[in-house]
Amino acid sequence: MKLIKKISLSLIVMTGLGTYAQEFDVNLQLRPRYEYRNGYKSPISNAEDATSFISQRSRLNLNFKQEKLQTKLSLQNIRTWGDVATTATADKNGVAVFEAWAQYDFDTNWSARLGRQIISYDNQRIFGEIDWAQQGQSHDAAVVSFHPKNHQLDLGFAWNADKENLVVPTTAYTTNYKSMQYAWYHTQFSKLSMSLVVLNTGYEYAKTVTDLKVDYKQTFGTYLWYKENKWDTNLGLYAQTGKSNGNKVSACYLGANLGYALTSAFKMALGYEFLSGKDQDDNASDIKSFSPLFGTNHGFNGFMDYFYVGNHLNSVGLQDAYLKLNYTIDKWQLALIPHVFHAPNSVLDSFGNKMNSYLGTEIDFTVGYIVQKDIVASAGYSQMFASSTLERVKNVTNPSNNNNWAWVMISFNPKLFSTK
């Protein structure tokens, strides 16, 4: 708290010396979460036991605004309870910079933002914050935005290195993408919203011991969203081309969601997703599996994260048919989401025979409660009914018939200081 007070007092003095209208606020997020994992991300083996732990995000956000200038500094510590001794002199993960950017508004239509920042668009399938993950996701980038009424065009650029090198490195940069360029356009037609995105990501790899190459993969497509009265529907279509590690890329994605509000409290939606994959007996070097790249993948294809959350890449793809049921009353919010998964491409058993395409069924249940303005409690339970085909895809031997996951989380979001 002493550090916060010093920062606040210093900025108050600076505000008093200025001649422009200024705003400054400090807010804090503390988010401990308990998890019980018994077959999370992959079917558990009978030889393995379930585990549980408590993780916590502690994030401090400082926001400053003065006329055409905006800045944000967000510091966070991510920890697992008990990962350091009670008498530790240093934290295991330390304090990291989650956001650190400055934005200048040239006029009402043009602005530019430089620094570590969240890049999130539409339903977060391609670009997302990944807020569920305690560490979240942010990029070191420059984003120029043109945003007249009912239109927005963002142009983003990034160039990454692992340190301040004196000469060209002799080892490939693999921390992240080497470079990124994108254009995102959004417009509104009455009750229909449309977004278009073109994304170019370059990843470095060693073609030979002495020859470093950067292959570029292009992701492009559209996201449409229509809302009228009780209807709420959206459609996403994306394709990927280019190269990755010297291999040709050719992949596609389709996602559709049709929602309807039966009452002001009860809503339901039917959805389907298709992510292209590759047959296990396809020996060609081409990459045919779609990658959601920087999306908030935890929010799709089941909360147990069996697919595309650090896994299932360059695999047999996925078909996901699901139903969403949401009920809100007073301070409570409940949701029930069953998923039925299939593999759109062939999976082979140990003898080379094609297996049934059915991967399994997952049922997710969540509940949230607003304790007060700055405190939200939430919990969830998920059950995966995995098929032998999914167990084969996940390469699990002697699998258990019981795979489930449960969690409880409390989020504290107080505003510590605000001045104008």
Report how far apart, in Å, the C-alpha atoms of 85 and of each of 58, 82, 88, 91 are.
18, 7, 5, 9
- 8 A C-beta contact, residue 60 and residue 26: yes
Amino acid identity at 161: A
Token code pair at residue 200 = 């170019």
Tokens of 384: 């995966």
Q: What is the pLDDT of residues 56-82, one digit of tens each?
A: 999 999 999 999 999 999 999 999 999
Residue 374, SS3 per DSSP? coil
Q: 91 near 83, Cβ under 8 Å?
A: no
The token pair at 82 is 């008990």
What are the structure tokens assigned to 25, written together? 């606020």
The C-alpha atoms of residue 180 and residue 199 are separated, in whole angstroms, by 7
Distance CA 344, CA 315 (A): 10
DSSP letters, 31-55, are: EEEEEEEESSSSPPBTTS--EEEEE
| pLDDT (mean) for 201-219 | 93
Number of Cβ atoms within 10 Å of the Cβ of 307? 26
Where does 129-168 show beta strands of DSSP type E? 139-146, 151-159
- The mean pLDDT value for 207-234 works out to 94
Output b/e per residue, 23-33; b: 16+ Cβ within 10 A: ebbbbbbebbb
pLDDT digits (tens, 9 = 90+) for 320-359: 999 999 999 999 999 999 999 999 999 999 999 999 999 9
Compute CA distances 413 → 24, 407, 416, whole Å: 17, 19, 9
Which string of DSSP letters, residue by residue, matches 309-360?
A: SS--TTSS-EEEEEEEEEEEETTEEEEEEEEEEE-SS--B-TTSPBPPSEEE
CATH number, span 2-419: 2.40.160.100
pTM of the model: 0.91
Paired tokens of 261: 């509000």
Tell me how far apart the 2 most distant CA atoms of the chain are, in Å.
77
How do the domains of the chain map onto residue ranges?
A: 2-419
Average pLDDT over residues 362-381: 97
Using pLDDT thresholds of 50, 70 and 90, give the confidence band for residue 17.
very low
For residue 260, the number of C-alpha atoms closer than 13 Å in the C-beta half-sphere is 4
Q: Determine which helix (DSSP H) or strand (DSSP E) holds 389, and give its type and residue range.
A: helix 388-393
Confidence of residue 55 (pLDDT cuts 50, 70, 90): very high
Report the alpha-carbon distance of residue 116 to residue 100 in Å, rounded: 5
| Per-residue model confidence (pLDDT) at position 10 | 53
Cα separation, 309 vs 390, in Å, equals 16
